[in-house]
Amino acid sequence: MSKQMFVDVHVLQTVPPSCVNRDDTGSPKTAVYGGCTRARVSSQAWKRAMRVVFPEIVGERLVGRRTKRIPELLEEEIAAIDASLPAKKLAREALKLAGVNVKEKDNKTDALFFISKEQLKAVAALAAGGCKDKDAFRQAMKEHPSADIALFGRMVASEPSLNTDAAAQVAHSISTHAVHNEYDYFTAVDDCAPEDNAGAGHLGTVEYNSSTLYRYATVNVTELARHLGGESAAVVRGFAEAFIRSMPTGKQNTFANRTLPDMVYVAVRGDQPINLVGAFEQPVPAGTQGYVQASVRRFVEYARKVYGTFADAPEKAYGVGAFDQLESAAEVMPLSRMLSELESCVEKHVSGEEVM
């Protein structure tokens, strides 16, 4: 690979009345940006939604597990090698040597731990073979990370050498316009109540809002390829598809807010990632024409302004949706073709070919 590659994914997506991501009081999350309140969906919520659909897109083999039950998983792997071994004891010893704390009381790690299937097997093999070398265990914990570990990173407070820097970043999604949360007052009827009882069996309120969201994520392809090599192209494609198609599950049964994007703009860059949220620092004004068209227009104008002043235009730009407005900034095509074009572009970069 001759230089860096970054893949920026920009999405505009309308969401109807919903509570996609709530705070500790049950209210939809918000943020103040450009001097007014915006709807907000945290990056953590959307990354979780992405990880749920990721196995369906890239396959189970490339996906790890994030859990406190690492000792149990390791026991199973050791027992699969040799059922006569004291698997529980060996698993605890192996994790201690690797620098991962396990609590005596419940046989769980003291924090969530992200591990790939290959790493589990490598550590189990060392434990079953009687290895007592700390460096060997820690090396086994670092080699062969799963795609989601390479993308989203791993932090291990007890042993920093096991940390993995994330190759991807996901921004908090915010509405392109101002929002005001509203309340849905609801009642539920008791099916077995007597006929002369006209009251509700239950009543309450749910807070919600609706919005047109600007969503942004970026992948450092060069960093990703350092961990995954030739599988990076398929993983970048899977990351983009998961980001575009996923939806956090907050209150979905109540609101059925299963929308897809109105616009997708993917930029392949060789200099640095660029979040174009500045297009909406001045909120899109309310009106009878909705927010999508004005948001797309504002986005394209701002991108052109940034490319003309602070940064070069991307080496490649792909667009999905908003055909009449986006075609001046990108090659517009259906999503399936865009993902294939992106995968091919990344594959060329990883193999050392010129992208252009």
Q: What is the mean pLDDT of the segment spanning 151-173?
A: 94
CA atoms of 345 and 355, how far apart (whole Å): 6
Select from 270, 266, 272, 263 the least CA-distant residue to 297: 263
Mean pLDDT of 340-356: 86
CA distance 43 to 172: 5
Instruction: Report yes or no: 240 and 267 within 8 Å, Cβ to Cβ.
Output: no
136 or 196, which is more confident: 136
Predicted confidence (pLDDT) per residue in 78-135, tens digit: 999 999 999 999 999 999 999 999 998 899 998 999 999 999 999 999 999 999 999 9
Cβ pair 74, 102 in contact under 8 A: no
Q: For residue 1, is pLDDT > 60?
A: no
* pTM across the whole model: 0.92
| Average pLDDT, integer, range 253-270 | 95
50-73 pLDDT per residue, tens? 999 999 998 888 899 999 999 999
Nearest to 201 by CA among 211, 192, 213, 212: 192
CB 1 within 8 A of CB 352: yes
* Mean per-residue pLDDT, 167-182: 96
pLDDT, the chain, mean: 92
Q: What is the mean pLDDT of residues 197-209?
A: 83
Contact 141, 119 (CB under 8 A): yes
Amino acid at 289: Q
